[in-house]
Chains A and B, each alone.
Chain A
Amino acid sequence: MTKEEVQGATEEGQQGPSKKGLKKQQKEAEKAAKKAEKQAKLAAEHQSTEEDDFAKDRYGVPAMVQSQQKLDRALVRVQDLTPDKADQLIWLRARVHTSRAKGKQCFLVLRQQQFNVQALVAVGDRASKQMVKFAANITKESIVDVEASVRKVEQKIESCSQQDVELHIERIFVVSQAEPRLPLQLEDAVRPDGEGEEEGRATVNQDTKLDNRVIDLRTTTSQAIFRLQSGVCQLFRDTLTKKGFVEIQTPKIISAASEGGANVFTVSYFKTSAYLAQSPQLYKQMCICADFDKVFCVGPVFRAEDSNTHRHLTEFVGLDIEMAFSYHYHEVIESITDTMVQIFKGLRDNFQTEIQTVNKQFPSEPFKFLEPTLRLEYTEGVAMLREAGVEMGDEDDLSTPNEKLLGRLVKEKYDTDFYVLDKYPLAVRPFYTMPDPNDLKYSNSYDMFMRGEEILSGAQRIHDAQLLTERATHHQIDLEKIKSYIDSFRYGAPPHGGGGIGLERVCMLYLGLHNVRQTSMFPRDPKRLTP
């Protein structure tokens, strides 16, 4: 190296730090400038917040409602917001379904069960910028108290249930704030599956819905389904009470398995074990022997079947009927079918809103039935199946696919979704079923179907202790275990029969849904015990 170069190097060395230093200084200066800018901006905003918020007391998060005061304030229901309330100032409490800010306005959709209405906060003499910002930031699903004036709208608001009005908000308070991250979005939960696929939008799968049932139940579809289910129970009770039936309650903790030992839950009962009732069968019959003549009961039924299908639950609600009859078990069939028809009519006439709401997400054909109800004999059903190419024996039970096929054939031939199949083969029915008097192959038993799926299994019961003992022995049932059951027929028992339906299955099939978990509020199946 020459002297100059060395010198150059030293000079560079001396300037080096200053060059780098310069760069560093520049960066720091920029950073500081940015920070100062930000602070100034915040300060300015803060100032403006402080300055301009004339609407400070017309919005906010008040103290938690701990029943501090009794306010004499009438809250209007969203479903009552109609044009005849135009220009009235009202209070209401609803959930924030969506909130969207657009410049100086914030559009909210307020929801109450199946009904929703559009609401608007606009910067003006009633609302400040800060209030609009507050409204836009309220998290979805929060519960709010709103004072607003009802205004008629020129153009119908298609996306809301209340299409002719909108609310202009004067005051808005958050009564209960929802956490910002919801486990599922309600709009996604209500989206029909096909639409989701087509437009690439999300839908929520069933397991997620069931895991977060509380939120899923808030959707319009769920609200409609369970209101309809409540209607079924009510119509069942009302119709039977009018027919002179008495409602009874039967025990669910029992000492012996009623339908056959395999599918029963065992519970520990002090020093021994007991079982959860698979059906109220035995107790219904004992009530008939106790002269209650016509009884029904609504209660849980527990089946420990490891069936993971679209139509099985381990716990479901059973609607059971039992009645004494005079001379022929068809009197029982007529009573049951008439009850079902009254239920169908009641649903058709009083729950159209709910049915249409469910159909929006789950389209289906309306439920059809005949009056009087169609009753086919088992042999006729088998003949129809054979005509369609199915091979089966005279005494074979119907498999699920054959039941469905028969349902379709019946629908095509008679145009009904509801029918009774009478005179089942004796071999496939429980031991307490009364055999046919004229043909030992068959029995006085029947099944009822909705949309090709079985909803009720019933029969004339054996009311003679001796015959009952014979049939139980034939089925190899331990007589000791059913001693008290057989005893109830030893002291005079009237001829009787009945049947039981599953509430969830009936709702599912009436609405044309495809999974019984949709009609069970908190379903139980072999894989699900919570919520």
Chain B
Amino acid sequence: MALRELSSLEKFLGLKKPNKYSTQGDKKVPVLQSNNGAPLVGLVTIACHLVKEAKRLELLGDSAESRAVVQQWLEHRVTKLDGCTKEEMKTILKDLNLYLQDKVYLAGNQLTIADTFMYYGIHPLIVDLAIQEKEQYVNVTRWFDHIQHYPGIRHHLPPVAVLRNRIYTGRHH
């Protein structure tokens, strides 16, 4: 899963040469063997490295504050989102919905890898949501639909159908 995300990221960044990754441990943490010495371990670390390699530093955030926010969301993705339970999922979606109430992107005013990796991570949760639940977490759904249509992001994931209009408007159901 993580390896596919990294190769999708490479395609998005337009990196010509795809890297070879290996994994370690039973959590299958990706490892990138670099030419000059120490291997890079961890999804977030490798992702940041790739971005720097492609010289697309704006994807890490365009101000000190947004850079910090990007790192925060990447951290959140790997620690809280991956392998969460059903109960935790509800809280995560609720919090994300509240956070996205007045924001188009997770950090700053443009796409960053925080959006990319949160999208990859939250995809399996969104796939399982019923239409009514998607309407309940309306901001998450809006952001999700925006990111999944962003050119070059989606790659390895199937699109999730999102209806343009609300169908559960009544007081009941």
Chain A residues within 8 Å of B, Cβ to Cβ:
363-365, 387-389, 405, 408-409, 411-412, 512, 514
Contacts and interface: CB of A to CB of B under 8 A. Distances in A.
Nearest to A365: B170
Contact of A389 (B131, B166, B172): B131
Contacts of A408: 131, 167-168
Given A363-B171, A387-B161, A389-B161, A412 B166 contact: yes
Contacts of A365: 170-171
Contacts of B172: 363-364, 512, 514
A166 B160 CA distance: 63
A364 B167 CA distance: 16
A391 to B, nearest CB: 10
Contacts of B171: 363-365
B168 A389 contact: no
Nearest to A512: B172
B35 interface: no
Interface in B148-172: 160-161, 163, 165-172
Contacts of A389: 131, 160-161
A514 B173 CA distance: 10
A412 B165 contact: yes
Contacts of A409: 163, 167
Interface string B85-121: 0000000000000000000000000000000000000
A405 B161 CA distance: 14
B131 A388 contact: yes
B131 A405 contact: yes
B125 to A, nearest CB: 14
Contacts of B163: 387-388, 409
B130 to A, nearest CB: 9
A412 B171 CA distance: 15
Interface of B: 131, 160-161, 163, 165-172
A208 B160 CA distance: 45
Contacts of B167: 405, 408-409, 411-412
B161 A388 contact: yes
A364 B172 CA distance: 8
Contacts, number: 28
A411 B170 CA distance: 11
8 contacts: A363-B172, A364-B171, A387-B163, A388-B163, A409-B163, A411-B167, A412-B169, A514-B172
The residue in B166, B167, B171 that gathers the most chain A C-beta atoms within 10 A of its C-beta is B167
A326 B160 CA distance: 47
Contacts of B160: 389
Q: Which 8 A-B pairs have the closest CB atoms?
A: A389-B161, A408-B167, A412-B167, A412-B165, A365-B170, A388-B161, A388-B163, A409-B167
Nearest to A389: B161
A387 B172 CA distance: 24
The residue in A387, A408, A411 that gathers the most chain B C-beta atoms within 10 A of its C-beta is A408
Contacts of A411: 167
Nearest to B134: A389
Nearest to B163: A388
A405 B163 CA distance: 12
A405 B168 CA distance: 10
Given A389-B160, A405-B167, 6 more contacts: A387-B161, A387-B163, A388-B131, A388-B161, A405-B131, A514-B172
Contacts of A388: 131, 161, 163
B124 to A, nearest CB: 14
A365 B171 CA distance: 8
Nearest to A408: B167
Contacts of B166: 412
A363 B168 CA distance: 16
Contacts of A364: 171-172
B46 to A, nearest CB: 32
Nearest to B170: A365
A408 B167 CA distance: 6
A389 B162 CA distance: 8
Nearest to B161: A389
Nearest to A405: B131
Contacts of B170: 365
A409 B161 CA distance: 14
Contacts of B165: 412
Contacts of A514: 172
Nearest to A407: B167
Contacts of A387: 161, 163
Contacts of A405: 131, 167
A513 to B, nearest CB: 10
A387 B159 CA distance: 11
A413 to B, nearest CB: 8
A369 B83 CA distance: 47
A408 B169 CA distance: 10
B135 to A, nearest CB: 10
Nearest to A412: B167
A409 B167 CA distance: 6
A372 B73 CA distance: 54
A364 B171 CA distance: 8
A408 B172 CA distance: 12
A405 B171 CA distance: 16
Nearest to B172: A364
Nearest to B169: A412
A442 to B, nearest CB: 26
Nearest to A387: B161
Nearest to B162: A389
A411 B171 CA distance: 14
